[in-house]
Structure 1
Amino acid sequence: MNRPNEPKKIRVGVIGASPNWGWAIHAHMPALAALPQYEVTAVSTTRKESAEETAKRFGVAHAFDDANLLVKHPEVDLVVVSVKAPLHAPLVRAAVEARKHVFCEWPLGVSLGETSELAAAADTAGVKTVIGLQRRFAPGVLYLRDLVAESYVGKVRSVAVRVGFPGLGASRPAQYAYTADEKNGVGALATVAAHFLDIVVAALGDISTVSSVVARQFDDTTLIGTEEKIPVTAPDQVVIAGTLANGGVLSAHFEVGKRNGPIIECSITGSEGDLVLGADLTLKGARGEGQPLEPLAIPARYHWVEKGNLSDDAHQTAHLYAAFAEDLAEGTSLAPTFRDATSLHKLLAAIASSSTSGTRQNWAA
């Protein structure tokens, strides 16, 4: 029971909380356990036994094999949708109709139209929303944003992004078979480019124009475990040349299916210096002329949540939850919402359109 002066905890129901694999068990559950503002009161999976296993592990009161029971439960204030992207829409709609706040993993919908519809429904219902763009809350990214705002590099001249991951190439685990179909909202454009372009926007401001190539180099993929070969329609390469609203030039290359890696680098060149965000989202920088890039210690104030034993993914997710808790308590707008999801999906649509038409596209965020 809460003491009279103790803030009421946000009661959370997590849909898709498999005990064995998935983003919920990897990031959401550990993140929520680390935050005193939250209490996970319910979990659901497609099987009662697995839901009960997760509930027992984390001390959760209610376990369901029907997500609708979780959504409607009176002890759930915030519904977390942590399932495959094609299943997001019906679960988000159910939560919105139940007048519950909603945290949905990226992507919100598998298309711009679906994303826009879900955002509008949430606005109409008056519920608060969060979209799972947690990488922008990595301590290194938060520090990068402030360094740019404080003119560490001076006027931004260029931003070069290079991101590549193994997996989703010639083979993939059988449970990820759905990622081969572009319609399911997963791949080099829908997920990899989206998350890292969100970092660019969060740290440097809007992207104005894009010219792009979106390509697929794997025609099929073998499912590990079954050895079944299935066709691939999701792109595995995205190359972008563009401009930023601040006048800087953007170049970016995103890919999946690497044999080795991963590789993550975002290099920012300005009139007064340089910054580089590396693979572990740490920073190097240099000011002046002809200086070597040196590691930049990230101040403690950018660690909103103690990292402890949290993975980097769980730590970033905890930061996102902490931002949302502050939004609810103080009326701030720290956490990205479904409206931000719509804006980012518009950017992805512009990138796809540029590749198809061979023309430069504007992004109206």
Structure 2
Amino acid sequence: MSSKIRVGIIGTGSWARYGHIPALQSLQDFEVVALAGRNKEKVEKYATQFGIGHAYGSPEELLANPDIDLAVVLAPTPEHGRLAKAVIAAGKDVYSEWPLSTTTAESEEILALAREKGVKHIVGLQRRFSPSSRYWHDLVRQGTVGKIRAVRMSVGVDAFGEVMPEFAKWALDAANFTEVLSIYGGHFHDMLFHGIGFPEKLMAVSVNQFPVTTIAETGEKVPYSSPNEVMVIGTLAGGGLFSVQLEGGQKHRTGLQIDITGTEGVLRITNARGFENKDDNAIAVMRNGVETFENLPVPAEYASLPVSHLDASSQDVAYLYAAYARDKATGSNKATTFDDALRQHQLIDQITASSAQFFS
């Protein structure tokens, strides 16, 4: 039997090819043995490109392969729930891209099924695993800023704007749960609140500023109802306040900015991009009476994997896979799981309910 964790990937879109396959192939604990997708010819092309032994035209064929230990669900969001259940039924460990499903109720069901079957489960909330995130999380725990007074996070991206490509048209249906709040909110909220603690109370407002989207290739006008501007404020344990702004459809991308102010200092985390980041987030600190920010390089021990040739977004995925491998080998519990996914679903429900009350 192979000592490596043998991986089958369901879905061969750009995120699989840009993020997951390169990340897995850089890690000695893993071997990607199979790909599956709806277009068999395309799957075979990518299997040849990446040197992967099996190419299947359906998830069912992949899941029937007894030599797969971990099945990774990278299909479009509406398929996540169904495919995660199929992986669990096959008795294999399951990695689902975030969101776990399109509803909180279905995600609760999937988590219960995984627990009942006894399979390990991972959700693709990988931003907390970047070297920069793990470092600033440690700085907060070590008291670098003292007691937290306020946290402000802004995330700005060009996605979900007035014009969208034909291949993403399916995301315009609100029932598919693929929007600024679900996608970028889920990823960045997990990274932020893992470092500062989850909200105790919150209030939110979300609006749609582009109620009609144009399909770039055809000029078709499609009604769009999901929010592309979201603001959340609330309280943290210990009395600190937080605010989050998520903005989609930016013509001039603002990327990521986080300020964490405390009784002893300030941390600032920034990145010019919100996704497909070439470089990891930058960290700066201001404390001890100094009135300007000083850049704070991430110590080498946080960059512990041989993935420096990959873009930072792909490296984050590699660090999540490495956490899962350690969990499997040692019994630890560091990887993000379906429990974390459910927590994000519930947080999004709170934000949505609060915004609905604001406009009632």
* TM-score bracket for the superposition, by shorter chain length: over 0.9
Mark the CA change 1:333 to 1:49 in structure 2 (over 3 Å): closer, same or farther.
same
Once the two structures are TM-superposed, the CA of residue 289 in structure 1 deviates from its matched residue by: 2.6
In the alignment, structure 2 segments of 5+ residues that lack a partner are 272-279
2:8 pairs with 1:13: yes
Please report how far the alpha carbon of residue 358 of structure 1 lies from its aligned counterpart in structure 2 after TM superposition: 2.7
Q: Of 161, 165, 172, which residue of structure 1 is paired with 2:157? A: 165
Amino acid corresponding to residue 83 of structure 2 in structure 1: L
Residue in 2 that maps onto 1:297? 297
| 1:277–1:308 Cα change, 3 Å | same
Q: How does 1:99-248 map to 2 (within 5 A)?
A: 99-248=91-240
> What is the aligned partner in structure 2 of residue 272 from structure 1?
264
TM-score normalised by structure 1 residue count = 0.94
- Tell me by how many angstroms 1:246 deviates: 3.3
Aligned residue in 1 for 2:328: 328
On the 8 A contact 1:166/1:260 being kept in 2, the answer is yes
- Listed one character per residue, the Cα deviations across residues 30-76 of structure 1 (whole Å, up to 9, x for unaligned) are 00010000000100111111111111111111100111111121111
Provide the C-alpha distance between the structure 2 equivalents of 1:199 and 1:156, rounded to a whole number of angstroms.
17
Contact 1:182/1:235, CA 8 A, preserved across alignment:
no
Does 2:31 match 1:39?
Answer: yes
Q: How many residues align?
A: 351
* Range moving further from structure 2, 55-64 or 30-39: 55-64
Q: Distance in 2 between matches of 1:234 and 1:214?
A: 9
- Give the Cα separation in 1 of the matches to 2:15 and 2:11: 9
The offset of 1:247, in angstroms, is 2.3
CA RMSD of aligned residues (A): 1.3
Match status 1:24 vs 2:16: yes
Q: Is the 8 A contact 1:179 1:234 kept in 2?
A: no
Distance between the aligned counterparts of 2:145 and 2:229, measured in 1?
Answer: 30
Return the offset for 1:182: 1.8
1:72, 1:247 → 2: CA distance?
A: 52
TM-score (ref. length: structure 2): 0.95
In structure 2, the residue corresponding to 1:305 is in which secondary structure? Answer: coil
Contact 2:27/2:306, CA 8 A, preserved across alignment? no
Aligned letter for 1:284? A
Please report how far the alpha carbon of residue 290 of structure 1 lies from its aligned counterpart in structure 2 after TM superposition: 4.2
Q: How does 1:282-361 map to 2 (within 5 A)?
A: 282-358=282-358
After superposition, the C-alpha distances for 1:175-208 in whole angstroms (9 at most, x for unaligned) are 1112212211111211111111111111111111
SS at match of 1:166: coil
Could you tell me how far 1:308 is from its partner in structure 2? 2.8
Task: Give distance in 2, aligned partners of 1:228 and 1:79.
Answer: 37
The one-letter amino acid paired with 2:328 is L
The Cα offsets for residues 260-301 of structure 1, whole Å up to 9 and x where unpaired, read as 114210110010000011015120111123421111010011
Q: CA–CA distance in 2 between the matches of 1:337 and 1:246? A: 27
Alpha-carbon contact 2:307-2:318 (below 8 Å) kept: no
SS at match of 1:335: coil
The AA in structure 2 aligned to 1:68 is E
Alignment partner for residue 260 of structure 1, among 249, 252, 258? 252
Percent of aligned positions that are identical:
37
| Secondary structure class of the residue paired with 1:212 | strand
Query: Which one of 34, 58, 70 corresponds to residue 78 of structure 1?
Result: 70
